[in-house]
Amino acid sequence: MREYPKIDTLLERDESFRVTDVLKRPVLADISKWIVTEKVDGTNIRVSFQREEGTIKVGGRSDNAQIHADLVRYLYEAFTPEKMTPLFIEGAAPESRITLFGEGYGAGIQKGGAYRPDKAFILFDVLVEAAGEAYWQDDACVTDFAARLVIQRVPILGEWSLTEIMERVRMGIPSVVGAGRLPMEGVVARTREPLFDKRGQRLILKLKTRDYQAGKR
């Protein structure tokens, strides 16, 4: 089961580990607008389903990651073969695989009690693999998958420039997922359609609220 690629923070840091205004990846400046979503403070979760196998596989950020037992129970109840199979397009090859990437969040995970009193999964990305190729889905498809599975997806905050992202995160944004009860952990931003750099890495960025606080976290 494929692991989720590491997302670099948007900005370089100074000797105090405070973010500067220097882009870590200058190529990001070539994109005028970004689709910005809330970054939820939780534990990274993968849910994978291969059409031919017909079984659900659940994992954390890595294959060795430990997941709360009650979150594991929730995941196997929320994602069944019967719910996942209709997500494949008609005529999809037997070896086709869909992997859902999201955050396990809620009470007992990080400081998630302010989000909700129990544990749940919120979707932020979808990868479809077929015929030896891997296709990251755009935000419209992620939203559609979430609706068909009757699960939450991370809120889309808007279409912002890099300057707007930096200014708004620096000022602090109330969490949409937490209904304003806590500050947003940060944001993740993607291009309208998946774009890749010369190394084959997807253009995607994150910026955390605490990145503007001095001192290493």
Complete DSSP assignment for 9-73: BSEEE-TTS-EEEEESSGGGGG-S-EEEEEEP-SEEEEEEEETTT--EEEE-SSTT----HHHHH
> pLDDT tens digits, residue range 110-169?
878 999 999 999 999 999 999 889 999 999 999 999 999 999 999 999 999 999 999 999
Average pLDDT over every residue of 179-204: 93
- Asked if 186 contacts 212 with a C-beta cutoff of 8 angstroms, the reply is no
Average pLDDT over every residue of 65-74: 94
Residue 84, pLDDT above cutoff 90: yes
Average pLDDT over every residue of 46-72: 93
Q: Which helix (H) or strand (E) holds 101?
A: strand 97-106
Q: Pick the more confident residue, 63 or 108.
A: 108
Average pLDDT over every residue of 59-73: 92
pLDDT for position 57: 96
pLDDT for position 214: 57
Q: Pick the more confident residue, 163 or 200.
A: 163
Amino acid at 197: D
Distances (CA, A) of 37 to 15, 17, 46, 68, 160: 29, 24, 19, 25, 10
Global pTM value: 0.94
| Strand-pair category, 34-39 with 186-190 | antiparallel
Average pLDDT over every residue of 95-116: 94
Across all residues in the chain, what is the average pLDDT? 93
pLDDT for position 216: 45
pLDDT for position 217: 44
CA-wise closest residue to 215 among 15, 53, 5, 6: 15
- The answer for residues whose C-beta is within 8 angstroms of residue 188's C-beta and 6 or more apart is 7, 36, 37, 38, 39, 124, 154, 204, 205, 206
- Asked if 43 contacts 57 with a C-beta cutoff of 8 angstroms, the reply is no
